[in-house]
Amino acid sequence: MNKGNKQSGQAPRLSSGQAVIIPVTVLMLIALSLIARATRPVKTEAELARGLLSSKQAGALADAGSEDVTYRVKRAKQYNTTEYVLLNNLIATTTVSTDLITGVKTILALGNIDSRIRQKAINLVKGDQVEFNYGMQVGAGGLSMANTSSVAGNIYSNGSATGDGNTITGSVVSAGPTGLIDNLRTSGDMYAHTISNSTVGRDAYYQNISNTFVARTAYPGSLDKATATMPISDAQIAEWEAIAATNPILTCPYSISSGTVILGPAKIACDVEISGNSTRVTLAGMVWVTGKITFKNSPTISVDSALGSNSVAIIADNPLNRNTSSNIEIQNSTTFTGSGTPGSFIFLISGNTNAESPPPGPMGGGVVAINLQNSANGAVILYSNHGKISIANSAQVKAVVGYKVAMANTAQLIYNDGLESALFDTGPGGSWNVSSWKETQ
């Protein structure tokens, strides 16, 4: 028998290298198993982090949609019952519904990112506030300033804004593609399609500029500012007139020339004259005059102290004649005061529309809706969204809103911060207030 042959049935022996590989392989398998187990929580945490990020992004998207539509509602801008708001190439779906009984508007915004859904709901209730964000707001008729007249506050004009080197302590906007600012001096910014012959205290935004000094930065090629809506609508004024009409005064002609009189709410169906330096008229509510209102010879008009921080409107509006009537004239040293509580003002509102009648229309726009002369002053706001307002001599007012405005001599407008949200004594007002803001399922 050959001794070199292996005996039958004997298992083959492993080499030393093979003996090492087997335990190493086992150890590697065990290690991989342990690593897989160890990385599983990390993977889970990563997935949770991605989900949390998507959820937060969906929440931010829903917030953006609800805030966008809320802004449109509060600013009386156009919106649909369903809006799609784009943010960083993502879309928030926003719906607006109104409760027919309570009048509450509900804005529901949905954000959806990677199937992470977040919903935000804002409820808005109609308030009795009107927001005045500018010292002067002017319609398409534009603003003209002469002599040493001045404005302490911002100006927003849908038409031109021109002067004679007059000073504005604030910024000036002349909106639209025909916007023009000419010969004015500001401590703030200027925004207009064309700026000429002016001095800008800060930055200038324009398409065309000439003969103008800019103290800080010029921005040629800037987009034109959009025209702005007036803060008090015709519908709101009509609602205030309806409140005044609940207490008609039938005595005509109507005049107050002495003594102390409490007036309002009241509708007076004729011209009204209030005069005399001993005359004190206290306004306890809205007053609607279907004719012309004249203040002269130093009367004092005030808001009833019981109304606190609320304001009151005196409205001149004859629906049958808004061309040559429905105007207000303030002469001499007429004084207007609030209730004694900060934030209380008197609004003089004219329904005259003559300034919107271009030649050869009726009167060619020559009738003045509100004519403020001499040293009339105080807590008074002039408002005529379709008419011309003229302010002269040493008159001082808190804010002016007119389709067309002319300032001359030493007239001053000194904007009062409390006008940002002026409250009225009654009625629906012009604002929407947030009553609740929450996340929904």
Q: How far is CA 328 from the centre of its chain?
A: 27
Confidence of residue 129 (pLDDT cuts 50, 70, 90): low
Q: From CA 111, how far away is CA 297, in angstroms rounded?
A: 63
Distances (CA, A) of 172 to 145, 169, 189, 214: 13, 9, 6, 14
Instruction: For the chain, give every domain's residue range.
Output: 18-128+432-441, 234-424
What pLDDT score was predicted for residue 198? 98
> What integer is the mean pLDDT of 147-159?
93
Interval 256-313: pLDDT, tens? 999 999 998 999 999 999 999 999 999 999 999 999 999 999 999 999 999 888 889 9
Sequence-separated contacts (24+) of 164-172 with Cβ below 8 Å: 166/407, 170/135, 170/415, 171/202
What pLDDT score was predicted for residue 131? 67
Taking a C-beta distance cutoff of 8 angstroms, is the pair 326, 349 a contact? no
Is 426's pLDDT higher than 50? no
Write down the residue that tokens 């002349």 correspond to. 174
Is 243's pLDDT higher than 50? yes
Tell me the pTM: 0.70
Interval 387-421: pLDDT, tens? 999 998 887 888 899 999 999 998 888 886 656 54
What pLDDT score was predicted for residue 309? 81
